[in-house]
Amino acid sequence: MNPDASTIAAGAPIEVDLAPIAEGQDIKVFWRGKPIYISHRTKKQIEEARSVPVASLPDPQTDQARVKDGHDQWLVVIGICTHLGCIPIAHEGNYDGFFCPCHGSQYDSSGRIRQGPAPANLAVPPYQFVSDSKIQIG
């Protein structure tokens, strides 16, 4: 009952052009049926994500570990709440990040869990920068 060949083939890597996303904006693309949030973070958001003491987080991880070096403004996360799989809403909640409407989990501007029942940070999908304004997810 595992995924069949066509489902696996449809899950091949995709390329996303980042050029049209202005600072402070974000887009949602689908990869393997999962929504992927790509956020062009503002300076303020990056600072907020980096100023919080890592040890105080429920799932400690630095912001640097969640973005690609030299592309600090781009946050790419799978938009699926780690609690029970709902889709969090971007730019909501108390941490300038994501808010899950189902059970009230709140994520910060780095997609890390800050409050609520979710046990882990929003997952970062495998991706790399093909050029400065293009990424390949998968």
Partner 1 sequence: MSGPSDYQPTNPALKWIERRLPIMGLVHSSFVAYPTPRNLNYWWTFGAILSMMLGVQILTGVILAMHYTPDATMAFKSVEGIVRDVNYGWLLRNTHAAGASMFFLAVYIHMLRGLYYGSYKEPREILWILGVIIYLLMMATGFMGYVLPWGQMSFWGATVITNLFSAVPYFGESIVTLLWGGYSVGNPTLNRFFSLHYLLPFVIAGVVVLHVWALHVAGQNNPAGVEAKTEKDTVPFTPYATIKDAFGISCFMLFFAWFIFYMPNYLGDADNYIPANPGVTPAHIVPEWYYLPFYAILRSIPNKLAGVIAMFSAILVLAFLPWLDTARTKSSKYRPLAKQFFWIFVIVCVLLGYLGAQPPEGIYVIAGRILTFCYFAYFLILLPLLSRIETPRPVPNSIAADVLAKTGSKTAPMVSTVIALMVAGGLLAGSVQNARAEEQETPPSLKWSFAGPFGKFDVGSMQRGLKVYKEVCSACHSLSYIAFRNLADPGGPGYTTEQAAALASEYKIKDGPNDQGEMFERPGRPADYFPSPFPNEQAARAANGGALPPDLSLITKARSYERGFPRFIFDFFTQFQEQGPNYVDALLQGFEEKPPTGVTIPEGSYYNKYFPGHAIKMPKPLSDGQVTFDDGSPATVAQYAKDVTTFLMWTAEPHMEARKRVGLQVFVFLIILTLLLYFTKKKVWADAH
The residues binding partner 1 (CB under 8 A) are: 1-4, 7, 11, 28, 30, 32-35, 83-87, 100-104, 117-119
Burial of 33 (0-12, 13-18, 19+ CB in 10 A): exposed
Q: How far is Cα 51 from Cα 104, in angstroms, rounded to an integer?
A: 24
To the nearest whole angstrom, how small is the minimum distance from the Cβ of residue 5 to partner 1? 12
Q: What are the E-state strand segments in the chain?
A: 14-17, 26-31, 34-40, 74-78, 89-92, 97-99, 106-107, 113-115, 127-131, 134-137
CB nearer partner 1, residue 2 or residue 51 = 2
CB nearer partner 1, residue 2 or residue 56 = 2
Sign of CA dihedral 73, 133, 124, 99: positive
Q: How far is Cα 17 from Cα 121, in angstroms, rounded to an integer?
A: 25
Residue 103 designated active-site: yes
To the nearest whole angstrom, how small is the minimum distance from the Cβ of residue 131 to partner 1? 26
To the nearest whole angstrom, how small is the minimum distance from the Cβ of residue 83 to partner 1? 6
CB nearer partner 1, residue 46 or residue 87 = 87
Q: Which residue in the block uniquely carries the two structure tokens 């995924």?
A: 3
To the nearest whole angstrom, how small is the minimum distance from the Cβ of residue 82 to partner 1? 8
CB nearer partner 1, residue 33 or residue 70 = 33
Residues labelled catalytic: 103
